């Protein structure tokens, strides 16, 4: 089954509001290579933990047959190991915290971060 939109999941869980989602979608037009969830985190509308939770729900729903998705809207995620293993998850979590800290301390702007993401995507 096709993955449900991340914004729909974030709103259904109460992590983001429709207004916040709309603002992030507008911002994403300027940075099309930056994922919507990452923009919401960078804008401080949601936490990185909330994004991870929503993505795990999204992935779980995408793996279910279509008839199960109609019966169970946005189930709680299963706590399975990531494909990268525990070390990969810890590194990603630390990276998220570092990025949030850099933004909070005004050491990097969202524009600079998006440019770095664009440069990295080209490699």
pLDDT tens per residue across span 88-119: 556 556 666 677 667 666 777 777 777 776 67
Task: Flag whether 66 is in a domain.
Answer: yes
> Helix or strand or coil: residue 77?
coil
Indicate yes or no: pTM above 0.85.
no
Task: Flag whether 1 is in a domain.
Answer: no
Task: Flag whether 65 is in a domain.
Answer: yes
Structural domain boundaries enclosing 85: 6-122
Task: Flag whether 61 is in a domain.
Answer: yes
> Helix or strand or coil: residue 28?
helix
Q: What pLDDT digit, counting tens, does each position of 20-66 carry?
A: 999 999 999 988 888 999 999 999 999 999 999 999 999 998 888 76
Q: Do 36 and 22 meet the contact criterion of CB atoms below 8 Å apart? A: no
């Amino acid at each position: 089954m096709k993955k449900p939109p991340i914004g729909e999941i974030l709103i259904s869980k109460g992590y983001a509001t429709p207004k916040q989602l709309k603002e992030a979608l507008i911002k994403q037009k300027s940075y099309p290579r930056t994922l919507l969830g990452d923009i919401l985190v960078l804008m401080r509308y949601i936490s990185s933990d909330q994004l991870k939770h929503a993505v795990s729900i999204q992935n779980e729903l995408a793996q279910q047959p279509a008839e199960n998705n109609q019966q169970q809207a946005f189930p709680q995620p299963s706590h399975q190991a990531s494909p990268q293993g525990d070390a990969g998850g810890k590194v990603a979590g630390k990276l998220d915290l570092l990025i949030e800290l850099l933004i909070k301390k005004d050491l990097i702007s969202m524009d600079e971060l998006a440019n770095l993401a664009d440069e990295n995507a080209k490699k």
